Amino acid sequence: METVILNVQGMSCGGCVNSIKNVLQPINGVISVDVSLEKAQATIEYDAGKASVQMFKNAIEDAGYDVAS
Ligand SMILES: [Cu+2]
């Protein structure tokens, strides 16, 4: 199991937090998702054999937010 922390730009409220959780949790291989509005971060535990950081970035960007590299 791997853990990655992504810096997410553009979140302004709890609805944004839920939006990001909702796009990350269904990705195959994602074990847990924690999103902090205060830190502007998403912490994702995942199985690296099934999911990748690039998939998470794409999902977050498709939802209308930006991921700082
Ligand atoms: Cu919001």
* pLDDT (0 to 100) of residue 18: 98
State in Å: Cα 10 to ligand 1 middle.
8
d(CA 25, CA 28): 8
CATH of region 2-64 = 3.30.70.100
Note the pLDDT of residue 23: 98
Specify the pLDDT at position 29.
98
CB 42 within 8 A of CB 6: yes
Domain boundaries, the chain: 2-64
Q: Distance from the CA of 7 to the center of ligand 1, in angstroms?
A: 16
Distance 12 CA to ligand 1 centre (A): 4
From ligand 1's centre to the CA of 25, what distance in Å? 18
Report how far ligand 1's centroid is from the alpha carbon of 47 (Å).
28
Which residues are CB-neighbours of 31 under 8 A, at least 6 positions away?
1, 45, 46, 47
The four Cα atoms 31, 20, 65, 4 give a dihedral, to 10 degrees, of: -20
Residue-wise pLDDT for 7-56, tens only, equals: 999 999 999 999 999 999 999 999 999 999 999 999 999 999 999 999 99
Contact 58, 20 (CB under 8 A): no
Residue 69 clears pLDDT 90, i.e. is over it: no
